[in-house]
Amino acid sequence: MTARPQALWPHMTPVRNQGDDRYCTVSANGTRITFADGRTLLCATSGLWNCVLGYGNEVIAGAVHDALLDASYLSVWRYENTYARRAADALVTAAGAEQFGRVLFSTSGGAANDLAMKVVRHFFALRGEHSRKGIIGLHGAWHGLTFGAAALTSGDLGHRVYGIDRRLVTHVSPNDTGELTRLLQQHPGRIGAVVVEPVIGTPALVLEDAYIADLLRLREEHGFLLVADEVTTGFWRVGPFFASQAWPEPPDLIITAKGLTNGTVAASAVIVSHRVAEAFVDAEAVLGHGETQAGTPPAAAAILATLAEMRRLDAAALNAGLSARLDTELAHLIADTSEVVATSGRGCLRAAMVRGPGNSELDDDEVAALVAAIRAEGAIVHPGPSCFQLLPALVYTDEDVAELFASIRAGIKRYFHEH
């Protein structure tokens, strides 16, 4: 008879790992996490990709502490608060005030994707284009697991079981202009938005410059809104501050979360272009969305402190230096091992493609076993399709990088020796 499980039901965790102290965290500091089994491991995933400046930043923690004492809870539902006003102004400045003018706060990347889809559909309704409800996403993209975001996330994580409605959402292959063009031509005047991650998180697939140029051209031709989901790529993860700032033209909406508070407070935001925001102002339209914990003083204080810390620490330089180290170490890894055959990604969002005997791809269980072997050698990496992913914090030292790749090499040797 199976033992009665513990009270905590962790997300996306295999049943065999639930209740296991090897996967129960106790504390985290800098670039390391301590577990209930007593081990302290080097983290190469920045938490869930969100602690861009590492764990335990005292300035950010202090700002949240002060806000909790000053205004433990104030809302942006039928009210405003000065903390949220300042955070919104700072995000507009970071995104580019010449293009963006307003900020909607939310509480997670998934909820912010839901919110963005509401903005898109309401925007076109205000223009009398009521049939523009279709949303196009990219195969392989991850946008979250709330109902709207789950429809936009291309993988099947129980969509039929949970009744996820995809009737107004479809997906096309990334970097394939022809497929997108054909879909737009088949549904004239019905597509409200194309939503893309500048670097698709799994497996760190970069959208090519030529494809971005085609997206911008097709936006002009077909009239849809272009949404950049920068939940992962923002806050100097891949460089620049938002990856879409390197595009020839900006998107209409930017979705941000994860690094937004350095992982300290549940927060996300949708940064809205002047053109889209002004349609609501001109019509005196109220967007049908609200969240109890969105835009609270602690969340806003964390956002402001994270932005200040990125300036103080020169996050742009940190990104450039760490990215160069990753370039070098990943090239050496390919040269030194027969199992790592290629890498993908940009900046501090990378994936190392691994092959087994006969150049065979690893299935999900084999990748999990490889990640576990690397973990046994002292480092936490993220699993992907026949690959492992690296998203180290920008504050990684040279010693951290050397230790990470020593653990990776030892883990690869351990896994393939055991198998």
Per-residue pLDDT of the chain (419 residues; tens, 9 = 90+): 456 789 999 999 999 999 999 999 999 999 999 999 999 999 999 999 999 999 999 999 999 999 999 999 999 999 999 999 999 999 999 999 999 999 999 999 999 999 999 999 999 999 999 999 999 999 999 999 999 999 999 888 889 999 999 999 999 999 999 999 999 999 999 999 999 999 998 889 999 999 999 999 999 999 999 999 999 999 999 989 999 999 999 999 999 999 999 999 999 999 999 999 999 999 999 999 999 999 999 999 999 999 999 999 999 999 999 999 999 999 999 999 999 999 999 999 999 999 999 999 999 999 999 999 999 999 999 999 999 999 999 999 999 999 999 999 999 999 998 76
Domain boundaries, the chain: 58-313, 314-418
Asked whether the domain spanning 314-418 has the same topology as the one spanning 58-313, the reply is no
* CATH homologous superfamily for the domain 314-418: Aspartate Aminotransferase, domain 1 (3.90.1150.10)
pTM of the model: 0.97
Fold that domain 58-313 belongs to in CATH: Aspartate Aminotransferase; domain 2 (3.40.640)
Distance of CA 371 to the CA centre of its chain: 20
